[in-house]
Amino acid sequence: MKTRVLAYNNESILEAARLILAGEPVAVPTETVYGLAADATNAEGVTRIYEAKGRPSFNPLIVHVPDLESAERIGEFGEEARALAGRYWPGPLTLVVPLRENSGIASIVTAGLPTIGLRVPAHPAMQALLGATNRPLAAPSANASGSISPTRASHVLKSLAGRIPLIIDGGATERGIESTIVASTDGPLRLLRPGPIELVARWDLRETIEAPGQLASHYSPSKPLRLGAERSENDEFMIGFGAIEGDSNLSFSGSLVEAASRLFDLLHDADESTKARIAVAPVPEEGLGIAINDRLRRAAV
């Protein structure tokens, strides 16, 4: 794949929107770092973010929306979350709030969690892309897994050349570090990631700041999970893969992109079934399969 770099203007944004609506991830500047954006309602599009980054595991991704009203259609905002949004949006603040049912957000975006990280970005290029796609956009930093976050189009190119179709060049980003993340779920606000907005400067978080990592960072089914299963026992709901059949199948054709995009939906289905346990067919430990197996192993403990 050849990676094009186009200067930020109306035309390049239309081209970026066309690619995103076709399920391809595109790199775009925000005020913090360059993001690798995909349609958050398209599971396979989002999976291609992981493929391009070569991420060995699925983390919940931040979803970008044009304004608070759009954010409230996806997440549930309490008084405190709304106050923070009112004060800092658009800007480098991400709010983790309960996910609404029927939000349309693909489950791979939240990695199966019942919460979602939402942000209204200030950068005109990201805002233009949100307008042109008319979709919520999931976007982690636009770098290969394990390398540092990109603050220029040239950084993105160095890291992801040949792996994504397009980079929108909007110059150097203003902030250079990723957004501050605050969780407003149940109970007091929690600072999950320090960032450009120094909420630690008191009034917002009052005395409720806790150590990061308090929030469950990955989804686990409530039932025992057996991995690498060639066939199921009687009391198991079997999640198949490729030729190994089951009650459901991650991908009949053996596609890892499809399997990754369906993983959390199928785990939820299995958890809700009448069977006492869950079995999952072997998934090859290569490419996206490494991330799939990582999530499965964590879900199994």
Comparison of 141 and 180: residue with beta carbon closer to Mg ion? 141
Comparison of 71 and 280: residue with beta carbon closer to ligand TXA? 71
Find the shortest distance in angstroms from Cβ 92 to ligand TXA. Answer: 6
What mask, x for binding ligand TXA by CB under 6 A, covers residues 213 to 242?
Answer: --x-x-------------------------
Q: In this structure, are residues 215 and 110 in contact, taking their beta carbons and an 8 Å threshold?
A: no
3-state secondary structure of 15: helix
Residue from 12, 30, 41, 107 touching ligand TXA (CB under 6 A): that is 30
Partner touching 31 among ligand TXA, Mg ion, none, CB below 5 to 8 Å by kind:
none
Q: In this structure, are residues 184 and 75 in contact, taking their beta carbons and an 8 Å threshold?
A: no
The residues in 72-131 that bind ligand TXA, with binding defined as CB under 6 A, are 92, 94, 96, 110, 113, 115-117, 119
Q: Give whole-number Cα distances, 171 to 28, 35, 176, 215, 258, in Å.
A: 10, 13, 12, 35, 34
Strand partners, 277: 236
Token code pair at residue 109: 């975006």
What is the Cα 213 distance to its own chain's centre? 17
Burial classification of residue 300, based on how many CB atoms lie within 10 Å of its CB (0-12 exposed, 13-18 middle, 19 or more buried): middle
- Check residue 179 for interaction with ligand TXA (CB under 6 A): yes
- Check residue 60 for interaction with ligand TXA (CB under 6 A): yes
Q: Using the rule CB under 6 A, give the single segment among 50-58, 138-146, 219-227, 253-261 that binds ligand TXA.
A: 138-146
Residue from 39, 44, 51, 178 touching ligand TXA (CB under 6 A): that is 178
Tell whether omega for the bond before 114 is within 30 degrees of 0, i.e. cis.
no
Backbone angles phi, psi at 260, to 5 degrees: -65, -40
Burial classification of residue 96, based on how many CB atoms lie within 10 Å of its CB (0-12 exposed, 13-18 middle, 19 or more buried): buried
- Check residue 57 for interaction with ligand TXA (CB under 6 A): no
Indicate the pairing of strand 26-29 with strand 34-39.
antiparallel
Residue from 12, 16, 17, 32 touching ligand TXA (CB under 6 A): that is 32
Comparison of 33 and 95: residue with beta carbon closer to Mg ion? 33
The residues in 146-175 that bind ligand TXA, with binding defined as CB under 6 A, are none
The residues in 129-148 that bind Mg ion, with binding defined as CB under 5 A, are 141
Q: Which residues bind ligand TXA (CB under 6 A)?
A: 30, 32-33, 35, 59-62, 92, 94, 96, 110, 113, 115-117, 119, 139-141, 178-179, 181, 192-193, 215, 217
